[in-house]
Amino acid sequence: MREISILGAGAFGTALAISLARSGRKITLWARSDEAVSAMQNVRENLLRLPGKAFPENLAATSDLADACTAPILLLAVPMQQLAGFCEANKTLIQHKTLVCCCKGVDLKSERGPLAVLEDTLPEAEIAILSGPSFAVDIADGLPTALTLAGRRQDTVDRLQALLTTENIRLYSSLDPLGVEFGGALKNVIAIACGLAIGAGLGESARAALMTRGFAEMQRLALRLGADPATLSGLSGFGDLVLTCTSEKSRNYSHGLKLGSGATIDPTVTVEGVATAQAVARLSQGVGIDMPITTAVTQILNGQISISEAAEVLLARPLKRE
Ligand SMILES: NC(=O)C1=CN([C@@H]2O[C@H](COP(=O)(O)OP(=O)(O)OC[C@H]3O[C@@H](n4cnc5c(N)ncnc54)[C@H](O)[C@@H]3O)[C@@H](O)[C@H]2O)C=CC1
Ligand SMILES: O=C(CO)COP(=O)(O)O
């Protein structure tokens, strides 16, 4: 019988597995590829996604999903655009479990966040969201981090907070999973905007403006969708916005930086903000919320306008109160 399994052996799933195992939990890390799992078993690290970070002894890797799903608690660490398909395809294995979703984004097809995807597909599962400022490498290196664990039920959240806190991950609890997941999803789009601005040489004052006004539009949409305003000011909103918009360790910020400076893009890197920007632009239009920065990011990514044209449009908007 497994204790906690992590489904998806990318950088984040692997980092969480390492930190939890170091803190004494018995962890199973599932990857879909037999080859990747054999390599992890032989080398005792994830050379592909998190090289140089050694696996503790009590971390096992498997490609047998049914075996991994004998654990009562499953952390879902596949990218956002894969989440709905993964849950649908493996419904019978995961539908009665406690599921902790670790991905940050909005589904492009349905414009839903992870919570709605999971609740719609797996109505009998207990659902929680884990989000907040934390780079996988920092977690795996044992550096201090603080994240938010959110769910609808106090007892579930309390149990998971105690179980998933580790020596270097301090978990705060929340009963606002929607606010937590939207903070994590929306900040990626603003991070792309900041990368674009810095890459195109628009300067750090422009970045500060994008972060602040980006935060305002994150709040507008999240509140309209029913989130608690205080949640957006917490780790999963403001906290992750600051981290992601200011560090080249962020793939979203770096993606913008590369586009802005004309550098080559690696299409195999997971950049959640790209699909999420498109999904959020549609979602916000549908609910009548103005998100000018997200709209500009979408138009730049689609090649409809240049970065300098986007800057002009944003500066020329009607003047208003802050
Ligand atoms: N890397 C980081 O520092 C952090 C990442 N996250 C979030 O975690 C999520 C995953 O990101 P990473 O692990 O960094 O991505 P990654 O690009 O390192 O890995 C993604 C993994 O998912 C696997 N995968 C893709 N589709 C799959 C499917 N259908 N079934 C099974 N496995 C599948 C890939 O093979 C790959 O191993 C994202 O939503 C990201 O925003 C959250 C916090 C920090
Ligand atoms: O979410 C993250 C940090 O909290 C990781 O950001 P990136 O996906 O941009 O690398």
List the CATH number of the domain containing 62.
3.40.50.720
Ligand 2 centroid to residue 241 C-alpha, Å: 9
- The mean pLDDT value for 111-134 works out to 98
Ligand 2 centroid to residue 1 C-alpha, Å: 32
Q: Please tell me which residue in 53, 97, 187, 258 is annotated as part of the active site.
A: 187
Average model confidence (pLDDT) for the chain?
A: 98
Classify the complex by whether its ipTM is higher than 0.95, answering yes or no. yes
Please indicate, yes or no, whether residues 144 and 253 belong to a single structural domain of this protein: no
Residue 290: alpha-carbon gap to chain centroid: 23
| pLDDT, tens digit (0-9, with 9 covering 90-100), for 40-52 | 999 999 999 999 9
The pLDDT of residue 294 is: 98
Please name the residue whose Cα sits nearest to atom 27 of ligand 1: 78
Task: Tell me which DSSP letter residue 144 carries.
Answer: -
Contact 125, 94 (CB under 8 A): yes
How long is the chain? 322
| pLDDT, tens digit (0-9, with 9 covering 90-100), for 198-225 | 999 999 999 999 999 999 999 999 999 9
- The mean pLDDT value for 15-21 works out to 98
- The mean pLDDT value for 57-77 works out to 98
Tally of structural domains, the chain: 2
Q: Is the pLDDT of residue 111 over 80?
A: yes
Nearest of 101, 126, 132 to residue 114 by alpha carbon: 101
The pLDDT of residue 1 is: 74
Active-site residue, 187 included: yes
- The mean pLDDT value for 88-112 works out to 98
Is 191 close to ligand 1, i.e. is its CB under 6 Å away?
A: no
Q: Is 308 annotated as a binding residue?
A: no
CATH number at residue 311: 1.10.1040.10
> Strand 59-62 vs strand 27-30: parallel, antiparallel, or unpaired?
parallel
Please indicate, yes or no, whether residues 10 and 139 belong to a single structural domain of this protein: yes
Please name the residue whose Cα sits nearest to atom 4 of ligand 2: 133
Please indicate, yes or no, whether residues 166 and 249 belong to a single structural domain of this protein: no
Domain that holds residue 18: 4-178
Please indicate, yes or no, whether residues 114 and 157 belong to a single structural domain of this protein: yes
- The mean pLDDT value for 277-287 works out to 98
